[in-house]
Amino acid sequence: MNYSLVCRVLVVFLFLLLAYSPGVEAEGLKIKDAEAKAAEAKAAELIGAESRTEVARRMKVNLGYGIWESFHVGMDYRFSNYSLGLDLGTSFHTLPFENSFVSVTIDNTFYWGKANKYELKTWYFNSRVIYYNAIEPSTTWNVVNLCPGIGKEFCFNESFGMNLDLGLALVVFAHRQDNTSNISGWIYPVYPECRIELFYRF
């Protein structure tokens, strides 16, 4: 009998038996399961961090000046490439409204173009509806303007930046009251509009 061949066969058989035994297989599965759980936890952590960053990018407060809003402060909420905002303004008795002036603005903005390093698109089209009440020495005005425009968001860092936009102010409704008349109507004169704002995103 060839004992050398028999010994070799036995060694191979024992090796295969140990390699595929339930204990070894279970241990291997435990290691793989632990590695899979660790990978899932890491992925969940990254997704959570990205979600928190995305939520933080949505809210921002603005402080600025516009021709038909005057000095104003407001807040915007951003949905991906669209934002909706509300501004409140006053002239502080400066030109062109040297007397009492109050404005309320609803701001609709659509962002487009290439994203910056903070993964935000910075060029935008906006369409604002501005209501203002201006009281002069002998006349009171209540006016609604529709202001389409184009602008750009300049980011100084991830939180601070500046908005600059240019457009038109279309007067769609005006009510004038003075000592001798009380006139309301739909009118369509067109005026230039410019606005600059500083913002903080949080």
State the Cα torsion 169-97-132-125 to the nearest 10°.
30
Structure tokens at 157: 């860092």
For residue 145, which of 88, 183, 189, 111 has the smallest C-alpha distance? Answer: 189
The DSSP code for 21 is S
Residues 34 and 131 in one domain: no
pLDDT of residue 109: 94
Residues 24 and 66 in one domain: no
Cα distances (angstroms) measured from residue 202 to each of 56, 59, 121, 162: 5, 6, 17, 14
Residues 31 and 130 in one domain: no
Phi, psi of 75 (to 5 degrees): -140, 140
Q: Domain range holding 20?
A: 3-57
Residues 106 and 140 in one domain: yes
Q: State pTM to two decimals.
A: 0.68
Strand 100-115 relative to strand 70-79: parallel, antiparallel, unpaired?
unpaired
**DSSP H or E stretch at residue 187:** none
Residues 12 and 67 in one domain: no
The DSSP code for 97 is B
pLDDT of residue 49: 45
Residues 52 and 123 in one domain: no
pLDDT of residue 15: 54
Residue located via tokens 């008349």: 181
Digit-by-digit pLDDT tens for the chain (202 residues) are 555 555 555 555 555 555 555 554 445 445 556 666 666 666 555 545 444 445 446 889 999 999 889 999 999 998 888 999 999 999 887 766 667 889 999 999 999 988 888 888 899 999 999 999 988 778 888 999 999 999 999 999 888 999 999 999 999 888 888 766 676 666 668 889 999 999 998 8
The SS3 assignment for 40 reads helix
Q: Are the beta carbons of 76 and 55 closer than 8 angstroms?
A: no
Residues 73 and 140 in one domain: yes
Structural domain total, the chain: 2
Q: Are the beta carbons of 143 and 173 closer than 8 angstroms?
A: yes
Residues 48 and 78 in one domain: no
Residues 76 and 114 in one domain: yes
